Amino acid sequence: MKFEQAWLDYTGKVFCDGADEISYIHLEIQEKEQDEVIKNSVKELQNAFAGLTGHKLTLHEEGLSGGDEAAYTAADAGAGLHKIRLVLQKGMPAESYRLYTEENGITIEASDSRGILYGAFDLIRQVKTGNSIKDLDRTKSPVMPMRMLNHWDNMDGSIERGYSGESFFFENNTILVNDRTDTYARLAASVGINAVVINNVNVKDAATWLITERYLDKVKELSDVLAGYGIQMYMSLNYAAPVELGELDSADPLSEDVRGWWKRRMEFVFRKVPNLGGFLIKADSEGRPGPFTYGRTHADGANMLAEAAAPYGGNIIWRCFVYNCQQDWRDYKTDRARSGYDNFQGLDGKFLDNVVLQIKNGPMDFQVREPVHPLFGGLKQTNQILEVQIAQEYTGQQRHLCYLIPMFQEILKFRTYIKEENDTVEDIVSGRTFRQHNCGMAAVANTGNDVNWTGHDMAAANLYGFGRLAFEPELSAEEIAREWIFMTFGKDSQIEETLLFMLMSSWPAYEKYTSPLGIGWMVNPNYHYGPSVDGYEYSRWGTYHRADHMGIGVDRSHEGTGYALLYNEPNASVYDDKRRCPDELLLFFHHIPYTWMLRSGKTVIQHIYDTHFEGVEMVDEMIERFMKLQDKMDKVKYRRIVERFMEQKENAEEWRDQINAYFYRKSGISDEKGRDIY
Ligand code: GCV
């Protein structure tokens, strides 16, 4: 299937002061240190400059044949920038680089090949976004040590919660390694991704066999392609593999047989696939097997695997998305939001160093608004990864525009008060708070084999943005959006202004026309698209809004489930008190009368009506502005985006009308502005 290059499209000349002068690459890296990553950096620079400036950069390797010293020296003697020097310089932190302009060229300096690659992509970014390269001096060091994408791809080619076509890693229970793999690796590396999990956390059927002879040659091939771009490949693991592969009748983590089995298996896998980073595990969650079956803890399970993987430098990433998915909706005491904390907080300090707990950003499941997961600030001696979802499962499934970087930024900036300083989520997962190295951010990926990779062309901003944010969280969401716009659509002020407006309005708009004030859900069960206010209300999933004729919301205060008290002070008291709780989370924490006056000065019911009308108006405005780009933009992309927006508009109106009608009928309170409510 054919595919586009997303933001790495190098066709079409750009205007960038200085770029036209560059004519060659000076590789000052010894031959023995020229790994695939260095070679790919050179290739990328050559391709980018050829496309963007029309200059084919020759390669000059010091001390090697092929370099015409005299010609290069003569070139350097003239005025202007002539070369890009690539230099390995010991002493810089891992993966960092310095990119700077000298008298007659640009230098990329790094202490490892990943740093060179990131510097090369940064230089390309400067050129493509039209920044002058005549006065560069940038030193960058990635803030998050692990910057991961988690693909929920199944081996039959389907993608769980995939909204951009089928998998490009798997087809008919085989592994694909082709041109697309290479471009995928380039796209990921260009925004600083350094780890990728290729298969769904729900490991079933053929995927259980990924750690066996049947697949390992091809696994290695794939891992080598990714490694060539500085990306460590990970696989999701079936916790019960010894049983499901028919080799043992138990997966008890304290059984010597089971421990021995995993030691042999890890040795076998890592010897075959030396570039493998390790494994991601979803255990005792939504029907997946885990240590609970044997009366053991998650620490027992994770440590067993970690011990077996440790000799090969392997990591075990263990998910904290563990809850009772067989709840009785009549039960007001059990609270799904508590379960991650209740299952893992007591295990703090019990995990081996190569275990990393992966924690979703909120306690429920990637809703448009949730409080930050209380395990951030609840764990002091455990490596942690923040898991976000750029696959827009609950945020419009890449049919609606919902730029999520502003949300992720809010989460990163959240103060946990676990210490007096360096206590934000960003501090914790970047390793600053507790001096950790095995930590970072992971995003559930939003890619598939669609021609544009992400279904909605503008959903690519989330893929781009996630990587950029994990690398440099100090960038603002606007800066990231702007970069992506320039990289993808070129530098045109009307396109820039319009798309920036659309991206930045999209999360607030989506929040306004869907479920109100942090309560979440209200989506169609199973496929999670479109409104269904009671869809999850009488289900087993622990996802309730508890609306009646007087009010709505879940009491998670000290009088209710006590969830609010899982936070450190002062967060606990703020969330616990309905007068101090932020409006946007009020219904998450409290059951509130419709007539309650919000801090905004509106009643809850009027807020619901107003926001639902406003949300749709925002979509209308985005469409109106976008339509003006018709003659400015690539026709194909323009048409694809318009189609998505037509669906978004229709669906947003459906959300508005169903939500407003539902609450009008429940409460009997009219809209004070007298608008149509059905
Ligand atoms: C991969 C939610 C999704 C599931 C997903 C699960 C998880 O429940 O709906 O599709 O499973 O989260 O994160 O494990």
Are 390 and 150 spatial neighbours (Cβ–Cβ below 8 Å)?
Answer: no
Q: Is 311 exposed, middle or buried (0-12, 13-18, 19+ CB in 10 A)?
A: exposed
Q: What is the pLDDT of residues 590-600, one digit of tens each?
A: 999 999 999 99
Token duo for residue 248: 């043992």
Q: Is 201 in the pocket of ligand 1 (CB under 6 A)?
A: yes
- Residue located nearest, by CA, to atom 2 of ligand 1: 365
Beta-bridged to residue 415, according to DSSP, are: 424
Mean predicted confidence (pLDDT) in 202-215: 97
Using 50, 70 and 90 to split pLDDT, how confident is the model at 383? very high
Q: What is the pLDDT of residue 12?
A: 87
Ligand 1: residue of 153, 286, 326 to mutate (most ligand atoms within 8 A of CB) is 286
What's the chain's average pLDDT?
97
Average pLDDT (312-317) is: 98
**Mode of pairing for the β-strands spanning 137-140 and 232-237:** unpaired
Q: What's the mean pLDDT in 519-533?
A: 97
Active site residues: 286, 365, 393
Q: What crossing angle do the helices spanning 179-190 and 213-227 adopt, rounded to 10°?
A: 50
pLDDT higher than 90, residue 253: yes
Q: Tokens 């479109």 identify what position?
A: 530
Residue-wise burial string across 324-360, b where 16 or more C-beta atoms lie within 10 A, e elsewhere: eeebeeeeeeebbbbbbbebbeebeebbbebbbbbbb
Of the candidates 468, 520, 513, the one whose C-alpha atom is nearest the C-alpha of residue 622 is 513
Taking the CA of residue 360 as reference, the ligand 1 atom at the shortest distance is 13
Q: Which atom of ligand 1 is nearest to the CA of 444?
A: 13
Q: Write down the pLDDT at residue 64.
A: 57
Which atom of ligand 1 is nearest to 160's Cα? 10
> What are the tens digits of pLDDT across the range 329-377?
999 999 999 999 999 999 999 999 999 999 999 999 999 999 999 999 9
What whole-number percentage of the chain has pLDDT above 90?
Answer: 96
Tell me if 499 CB under 6 Å of ligand 1.
Answer: no
pLDDT, mean of residues 173-200: 98
CB atoms within 10 A of CB 597: 13
Measure 201 CA to ligand 1 centroid, in angstroms: 8
Atom of ligand 1 nearest to the CA of 393: 9
Q: Which atom of ligand 1 is nearest the CA belonging to 282?
A: 14
Find the mean pLDDT for residues 180-197. Answer: 98
Compute how many other C-beta atoms are within 10 angstroms of the C-beta atom of residue 420. Answer: 6
Distance 393 CA to ligand 1 centre (A): 9
User: Taking residues 111-120, what's their average pLDDT?
Assistant: 98
Angle at 109 between CA 22 and CA 134, to 5 degrees: 40
Output the pLDDT for position 73.
Answer: 79
As a whole number, mean pLDDT of residues 164-185 equals 98
Q: What is the DSSP string of 260-329?
A: HHHHHHHHHHHHH-TTEEEEEE--SSTT---GGGGT--HHHHHHHHHHHHGGGT-EEEEE-----SS--T
How many helical (H) and strand (E) elements, i.e. helices and strands, does the chain have?
18, 18
C-beta neighbour count of 259 within 10 angstroms: 17
Q: How far is the CA of 444 from the centre of ligand 1 (A)?
A: 10
How far the first Cα of the chain sits from its last, in Å, is 46
pTM above 0.95, yes or no: yes
Question: What separation in Å is there between the alpha carbon of 425 and the centre of ligand 1?
Answer: 23
Residue whose C-alpha is closest to residue 550's, from 615, 512, 596, 517: 596
546, two tokens: 């508890």
Those residues whose C-beta lies under 8 Å from the C-beta of residue 661, and which sit 6 or more positions away, are 677, 678
Whose Cα sits closest to atom 8 in ligand 1?
Answer: 365
The CA distance from 479 to 483, in Å, is 6
What is the helix (H) or strand (E) element at residue 359, kind and residue range? Answer: strand 355-360
Query: What is the distance of C-alpha 38 from the center of its chain?
Result: 26
Q: Whose CA is nearest to atom 11 of ligand 1?
A: 202
Q: What's the confidence (pLDDT) of residue 77?
A: 78
| 161 CB near ligand 1 (under 6 Å) | yes
- Dump pLDDT digits (tens) for 601-652: 999 999 999 999 999 999 999 999 999 999 999 999 999 999 999 999 999 9
Residues 53-83: tens digit of each pLDDT: 999 999 999 765 555 777 787 778 788 899 9
Instruction: Return d(Cα 21, Cα 24) in angstroms, integer.
Output: 10
Q: What are 455-477's pLDDT values in tens digits?
A: 999 999 999 999 999 999 999 99
Mutate to test the pocket of ligand 1, among 365, 388, 397 (most ligand atoms within 8 A of CB): 365
Tell me, in angstroms, the distance from the centre of ligand 1 to residue 173's CA.
21
d(CA 304, CA 97) in angstroms, rounded, equals: 37
442 CA to middle of ligand 1, Å? 14
pLDDT, tens digit, 9 for 90 and up, residues 569-590: 999 999 999 999 999 999 999 9
Strands 383-389 and 137-140: unpaired
- Listed in sequence order, the residues at least 6 apart from 346 whose beta carbon sits closer than 8 Å to its beta carbon are none
Structure tokens belonging to residue 487? 């990289």
Calpha distance 300→635 (Å, rounded):
56
Alpha-carbon distance 321 to 375, whole Å?
Answer: 11
> Does 659 contact ligand 1 (Cβ within 6 A)?
no
For residue 402 the two structure tokens come to 């919902």
CA of 179 to the centre of ligand 1 (A): 29
Q: Is residue 86 lining ligand 1, measured as CB closer than 6 Å?
A: no
Coil, strand or helix at 235: strand
